[in-house]
Amino acid sequence: MAIGIDKIGFASPEFYLDLTDLAQARQVDPAKYHIGIGQDEMAVMPQDQDVVTLAAQAAAQILTPAERQSLDLIIFATESGVDQSKASALYVQRLLGLNQAARAIEIKEACYGATAGLQLAYDHLAAHPESQRVLVLGADEARYGLQTAGEVTQGAGAIALLVTRQPRILELEQPSAYHSEEVMDFWRPNYRQEALADGRFSTEQYLRFLDLTWADYQTKTQRDLTDLAAVIFHIPFTKLGLKGLRQLTATASAAQQADYLALFQQATKLNRRVGNLYTGSLYLSLYSLLLFGHLPAGARIGLYSYGSGAVAEFFSGRLVAGYAKVLPTGASVLQQLATRQRLTMDGYQHLFNAQLPTDGSDWTTPQQSRQTPFRLAGIAGHQRLYQNNGGTIQ
């Protein structure tokens, strides 16, 4: 029985910073950001958006009324959770009127969380013939801090994956290969809004785990690189994915390397413009590959997922005939990005510093987003208040 990704939705804040402006402000050669890091723009989260509103927006794009009522598992992967106890999935369930005869949970393992969710969805559908579909959400805000080495690798956004039997986009294959080890490469203690990262060490771990999981994938599946039409990666910044690709294709012919590189460039087109989504980044890269890579039906895609801390997984899937019909056009997604508001450095720093109160006081959020269907309206009595496009505060 084929199980996999039936639909993909994507949402990102309507504000962004051009990284040439950041380079000038930080007195860095812009080529370091555009070439050395491989990023052009980064999404900036306003106060009236959070992971719940972005995930709800991404899911609303893809779910029909019938699908909303037939989900029986809603998995929300994030490392930017809005509550220490309550699952963000429950807010999304209410905002979108999703089926209540469902399990709704939040999971966390840094940027690996959405992959854990996807595999859990697969297992759920395989184990429960009566279950029809699972919603997997991956949403984050990547925050390292002003004037830090990681600043240029920030971003924000959400991915929604509808997982079903007989999927219309990508049939997932088993087995996959995974590896975990306790590593202090990137973490965020409860008292901090910004991540702590041992940046270069984290890139070494990413590449070391790639070696381990790729070797294990080959052993388990008896496949090699020639079985993969394209390989995509978790993309905290595109240069790191490129290093991963070079490592994986080191012994391939020059022509094969050029083919993989051409597809990698299509698969990182959106990531370059949005920045790091943490757990959604691999799936934004998948979305980008599907929109711009023009791969044929049946093509096998290798996916490398990495979450600091650290857990990694190498797995694969095959494209289903007609997958492009279930997706928007690449041009329409680029057009959507083009409607975003470019921030000045002052505007970016203002939004970055303007955090919600942490002392328990009530708060009304200024209306900053104009195009988004859901807003965080404020906080009252320690409860987050969300507003839908009809204006109702819930």
Mind telling me the catalytic residues? Answer: 79, 111, 234
d(CA 115, CA 268): 18
Coil, strand or helix: which one is 348? Answer: helix
Does residue 78 sit in helix, strand or coil? coil
Residue type present at position 334: L
| E strand residue ranges, the chain | 3-11, 15-18, 41-43, 71-77, 103-107, 133-142, 155-165, 170-172, 177-180, 186-187, 196-197, 230-233, 300-307, 311-319, 341-342, 363-364, 374-380, 383-388
Count Cα neighbours of 283 within 13 Å in the Cβ-side half-sphere.
Answer: 33
Among 124, 234, 300, 375, binds ligand CAA (CB under 6 A): 234
200 binds ligand CAA (CB under 6 A): yes
89 backbone dihedrals φ, ψ, rounded to 5°: -55, -30
Q: Which of 8, 17, 22, 37 binds ligand CAA (CB under 6 A)?
A: 37
Q: Does 295 bind ligand CAA (CB under 6 A)?
A: no
Q: How far is the CB of 364 from ligand CAA (least distance, A)?
A: 32
Binding segment for ligand CAA among 234-242, 264-272, 290-298, 380-388 (CB under 6 A)? 234-242
Stretch that binds ligand CAA, among 42-50, 100-108, 126-134, 231-239 (CB under 6 A): 231-239
Which amino acid is located at 38 in the chain?
G
Residue of the chain from 43, 120, 177, 240 that contacts ligand CAA (CB under 6 A): 240
Q: Which structure tokens are listed for 275?
A: 């920045």
- Find the part of the chain contacting ligand CAA (CB under 6 A) among 5-13, 200-208, 223-231, 334-342: 200-208
Pairing of strands 71-77, 133-142: parallel
Which of the stretches 14-22, 236-244, 284-292, 360-368 binds ligand CAA when contact is defined by CB under 6 A? Answer: 236-244
Query: Should residue 347 be labelled a site residue for ligand CAA when binding is judged by CB under 6 A?
Result: no
Tokens of 160: 């929604």
User: Minimum Å distance from CB 44 to ligand CAA?
Assistant: 17
Per-residue b or e along 338-377, where b marks 16 or more CB atoms closer than 10 Å to that residue's CB: eebeebeeeebbebbeeeeeeeeeeeebeebbeebbbbbb
Residues 127-146 that bind ligand CAA (CB under 6 A): 144
Which of helix, strand or coil describes residue 206? helix
- Dist. CA 314–CA 297, nearest whole Å: 21
Site string for ligand CAA, 299-318 (x = CB under 6 A): -------x-x----------
Under rule CB under 6 A, residue 149 binds ligand CAA: yes
Taking CB under 6 A as the criterion, the residue among 260, 278, 304, 352 binding ligand CAA is 278
Quick one: tokens of 147? Answer: 């004037």
Q: Which is nearer to ligand CAA, 112 or 292 (CB)?
A: 112
Q: Which stretch binds ligand CAA (CB under 6 A): 8-16, 35-43, 63-71, 247-255?
A: 35-43
Q: Which is nearer to ligand CAA, 276 or 368 (CB)?
A: 276
Total binding residues toward ligand CAA, as defined by CB under 6 A: 30
- Residues 242, 8: contact at Cβ < 8 Å? no
The residues binding ligand CAA (CB under 6 A) are 29, 31-32, 35-37, 110-111, 144, 149-150, 152-153, 185-186, 197, 199-200, 202-203, 206, 234, 236-237, 239-240, 276, 278, 306, 308
